[in-house]
Amino acid sequence: MARLEDLHEDVVIEAPYFDERVRILSVKPTGDSLVRIVGEGLDTHITHKPVIPMAELEKIIVVSQKALRFDGDPEAFFLCMEAHRMRNAFQFDPLYAVNVSMVDPLPHQIEAVYHYILKNPGIRFLLADDPGAGKTIMAGLLLKELKYRGLAERVLIIVPGHLKDQWVRELKEKFNETFRVVGRHTMEESWGRNVWEDENQCIASIDFCKQDDVMITLQGVEWDLVIVDEAHKMSAYQYGEKTDKTKRYRLGELISANSRYLLFLTATPPPGRPRELPPLPGPAGAGVLRHRRDARRIHQEQG
């Protein structure tokens, strides 16, 4: 049984006067004993305008009273819509990270990140290019794309000790990403806790991470993305059929096992030295991006 006060705009009702459910558009009393209900059929979208005696309102069944409300917090609504827009923006903007970062990438940087690395469902790459080719920019673009797609939250960057501050500064200035530098003093300040688990975005030096007590704290800590700069420093040495695994190499094996996505950055061999890149830790089948001269040569050899 419905009362007159229950009948208002956007309420869905059922009644013998209609062959379908009707969404009310307006309710207007006519005289003392009649009421005009204007509604739209949910199935046929036909407009109904019956005049019903007040006494027969008991035959009307209210199905739904869901109605739009506009008394919410406008700032919270705006932030929610922005979050959804940013979450899905990459589907409409193929270079989304470029457009939200303070960088002007070169063509070879866009090609490496968007045409090769991001097209692979399992991102585990060795990116090799000449010194000064902007490998930091490529790593930053990959980081932003993965974060905006909801694929990377916990990120570890391992670099030579003298490059820690440079990486922190460039990621902050160009990509608005804040990383915490983890060193011996950081671990001492976090006594009793595992700093790697407390921080989602860390930068540390390779020689600090390779120490036995530090590698113990890294064991079992999962990362969404690990980036290693000057990854050739993690290479092993081969003597005939024997491979000498250094501490840095064993560190690479550890982070390779504990990371979902992995990116090694290194320089290519100088021209005139026809040698292969040194063996690096990582799973079989990992992708390799070398210098564009090598990519062109491989493409020609494959026809």
Whole-number percent of the chain with pLDDT over 70: 86
| Residue-range domains of the chain with CATH | 4-64 (2.30.30.30), 95-301 (3.40.50.10810)
Say how many residues make up the chain: 303
Gap between the Cα atoms of 36 and 53, Å rounded: 9
Residue 148 binned pLDDT confidence (cut-offs 50, 70, 90): confident
Residue 280 binned pLDDT confidence (cut-offs 50, 70, 90): low
Instruction: Tell the burial category of 91 from Cβ atoms under 10 Å away from its Cβ (0-12, 13-18, 19+).
Output: exposed
Q: Is the pLDDT of residue 197 over 80?
A: yes
Q: What is the pLDDT of residue 194?
A: 92
Q: Is the pLDDT of residue 295 over 60?
A: no
What is the pTM assigned to this prediction?
0.65
Q: What is the pLDDT of residue 268?
A: 62
Q: What is the pLDDT of residue 259?
A: 92
Q: What is the pLDDT of residue 78?
A: 92
Instruction: Tell the burial category of 244 from Cβ atoms under 10 Å away from its Cβ (0-12, 13-18, 19+).
Output: exposed
Tokens standing for residue 151: 């694929």
52-66, 125-139, 195-209 — most confident range: 195-209
Within 10 A of 1 (CB to CB), how many other CB atoms are there? 9
Tell me the per-residue pLDDT of 151-172, one tens digit each, with 9 for 90 and over.
999 999 999 999 999 999 999 9
Q: Is the pLDDT of residue 139 over 50?
A: yes
Q: What is the pLDDT of residue 244?
A: 78
206 or 278: which leads in pLDDT = 206
Taking residues 26-41, report their average pLDDT: 88
Tell me the per-residue pLDDT of 211-239, one tens digit each, with 9 for 90 and over.
999 999 999 899 999 999 998 888 777 77
Tell me the per-residue pLDDT of 249-270, one tens digit each, with 9 for 90 and over.
899 889 988 999 999 998 865 4
Q: What is the pLDDT of residue 286?
A: 52
